[in-house]
C-alpha cells in the first residue's frame, strides 16, 4: 500500500525562528510560508532531495497541533507522510482492518494540492500518519 516517504513534519511554536535555523544554521532551502486555514496550520517545506521536512505552526482557533505544542512547547516531530496511489482504497482497507481515520474520514486537499488523510497515532506505533495520494 505504501509508496515513498513524502515528508516528516515538525510542529514548532515559531515558524520564522525554526525556518531561520534550517536556513542559516543547517544551510537548507526553505519555502515561503503557506497559510492553510482549512488545516489550522501555516507550513514551510525544506526539500532534501530524497524527501521533505514540513515545519508546522498553529493557525487560528482550534488548530489540530495546539495540544501537541502545549505538551511539547519547544516543538517536536509531529507526523510522517507516506504516498499512496489510491487514497480511498487505502482508507477503506485500513478502516476494514480496524484503524481509525481522523476527521470525517474524507480526504482533504493538502499542502501540495493532493488528497490527504490522517490516521490515529495510537493505531500506528504512537506515530500520527498522513497519507497523500500522488
> Which residues, numbered 14-33, are part of the site for ligand LP2KCY5N (CB under 6 A)?
none
Torsion of CA 123, 72, 24, 20, to 10 degrees: 100
Query: Phi, psi (5° rounding) for residue 95?
Result: -60, -40
DSSP 121: G
- Contact between 69 and Co ion by CB under 5 A: the answer reads no
Examine the residue annotation and report whether 57 is marked as an active-site residue of this protein: no
- Contact between 46 and Co ion by CB under 5 A: the answer reads no
End-to-end CA distance of the chain, in Å?
Answer: 12
Nearest approach, Cβ of residue 92 and ligand LP2KCY5N (Å): 19
- Contact between 52 and ligand LP2KCY5N by CB under 6 A: the answer reads no
Strands 34-36 and 108-109: unpaired
**Which residues make up the interface to ligand LP2KCY5N (CB under 6 A)?**
9, 36, 39, 41, 43, 54, 56, 64-65, 67-68, 78-79, 81, 102, 110-111, 116, 118, 121-122, 126-128, 130
Amino acid at each position: 500500500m505504501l509508496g515513498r516517504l513524502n515528508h516528516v513534519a515538525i510542529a514548532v511554536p515559531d515558524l520564522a525562528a525554526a525556518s531561520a535555523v534550517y536556513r542559516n544554521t543547517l544551510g537548507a532551502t526553505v519555502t515561503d510560508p503557506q497559510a492553510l486555514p482549512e488545516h489550522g496550520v501555516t507550513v514551510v517545506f525544506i526539500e532534501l532531495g530524497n524527501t521533505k521536512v514540513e515545519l508546522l505552526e498553529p493557525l487560528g482557533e482550534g488548530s489540530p497541533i495546539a495540544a501537541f505544542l502545549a505538551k511539547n512547547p519547544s516543538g517536536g516531530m509531529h507526523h510522517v507522510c507516506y504516498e499512496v496511489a489510491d487514497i480511498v482504497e487505502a482508507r477503506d482497507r485500513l478502516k476494514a482492518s480496524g484503524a481509525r481515520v481522523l476527521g470525517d474520514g474524507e480526504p482533504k486537499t493538502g499542502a501540495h494540492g493532493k488528497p490527504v488523510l490522517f490516521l490515529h497515532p495510537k493505531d500506528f506505533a504512537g506515530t500520527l500518519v498522513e497519507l497523500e495520494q500522488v
